[in-house]
Homo-oligomer: A and B are copies of this chain.
Amino acid sequence: MVEDVHVRPGGRSARVRASVHRAVEELVGAESADTLTIPAVAARAGVHPTTVYRRWGSVSQLLADVATSRFSGDVVVPDTGSLAGDLERWMGDVATDLADPDVLALMRATIGSGPEGGCACTVDRHEQLGAIIERERARGGAAPDVERAVDLLLGPLYYRAVFSSRPASSQWARGLVASLLADRAPSL
């Protein structure tokens, strides 16, 4: 237990972190996966490699940190008045995000960095989806369970993003909502 150690996350530390994160996002989008190294990130961020080694330890840990930061944030879920409207709006936004080549590059690099890589990319999306479904329930409406919604909405969307060479359109993504809402198969 190191509760008497006082970290200093302000000022220079915060600037270092921001520039390192930006450097990672720029490098994964611009170059081959093989070239993402700590010295390359440090050079691009304008900091010393030792600083990056000491702070993050390895490319895997750095990518997990960047992905967690990039793929999360304040939950801004739409409120159109209906579950279908909310989900369609949200799916369109997620699809637009996943159509960005730089976002996809960061995601691939993070997945490749280890077993927890994929989770780091989607944890926030699960929370957002849960919030949408919770709101519909609060409105008194019937809503599928979150797990089923993740499977039938995020499943096909992220599959196309990672496993195919053609990104999904927002229109196609919104169309998945109809499948989910029509889904009557037992959820195992």
Contacts and interface: CB of A to CB of B under 8 A. Distances in A.
Interface of A: 32-34, 58-60, 104-105, 108-119, 121-122, 150-152, 154-160, 162-165, 169, 171-172, 175-176, 178-179, 182-188
A178 B182 contact: no
A165 B112 contact: no
Count identical subunits in the complex.
2
A114 B159 contact: no
**Which of A32, A34, A163, A185 has its CB near the most chain B CB atoms (within 10 A)?**
A163
Contact of A60 (B33, B115, B117, B178): B33
A162 B33 contact: no
Given A159-B159, A184-B182, A117 B122 contact: no
Contact of A108 (B114, B150, B186): B114
Contacts of A169: 188
B163 A175 contact: no
Most B Cβ at <10 Å: residue of A33, A160, A171, A182: A33
Contacts of A179: 152, 179, 183, 185
B182 A186 contact: no
A163 B142 CA distance: 27
A165 B117 CA distance: 10
A169 B188 CA distance: 9
6 contacts: A33-B112, A116-B165, A152-B179, A155-B157, A159-B159, A175-B186
A20 to B, nearest CB: 17
